[in-house]
Structure 1
Amino acid sequence: MDPSSSTRMPGRLVPAGGGHVPVRVRGFVDDAAPPRAQRSERGFAVVLARTEHAVVKVVDGTTVLGYLPEGWSQVVDFELWSCEQAGEPALARAVLEGARGERDLFVMLSWPRRRG
């Protein structure tokens, strides 16, 4: 998915690794889903941002949609820090699953590539 086609913000897709796996966003409330999420079959762009509590928040504009589980927050922390240093927002593709009113939000993430 080309992030620039679904959001007007320039940024870097995080993580940049290979295959992706859906990670459930904790604390998501269905009513907070942006209108474009209803029309998107392939997902929509969200911003990932570090917090002072070492948990990554999932953001759409000024709305916090929820948080990554602790383990995944640790996995993507360095990439988010790298994006901050480069002055680029960290983008991820998000998808809604389930029946309206009971949906879950997932972001597509991947394990970091092993070096060596």
Structure 2
Amino acid sequence: MPADTNPYGGVFGGWLMAQMALGAGSLASRVGQGKAVVVSATDFAFPGAMAVGDELSVYCDVLATGTTSLTIAAEAIARERNGEATTLVAKGTFKFVLIGDDGRPRAVGVDPTLLLPKEN
């Protein structure tokens, strides 16, 4: 929306990062089977531009698991509003720590089937 634009009229990179963090956080919570909080965001690039009104899709994959953490790659792809053309507009890596009911980090305990690539 227009409120999410930079002074030049393009979609603000910070808004894209926030949408990517939401997508990656959803995957972290599902794979980790509980609360997950982002602790770092790295390796961001914005190779394309997104226009106001474009549709955004965020795709995420688990890159690594640690004792209490998940590292997740995220890609943001924009589809033009009135067509089918798509553009990679952002990519980056998030690290999440899983949190227990006591508010402290907890072991990952990942269901390995959630980490396998999906077959068509």
TM-score, scaled relative to structure 1 = 0.32
> Larger relative CO (CA 8 A, sep 6+): 1 or 2?
1
Which of the pair has more CA radius of gyration?
Answer: 2
TM-score, normalising length: structure 2: 0.31
Structure with the larger strand share: 2
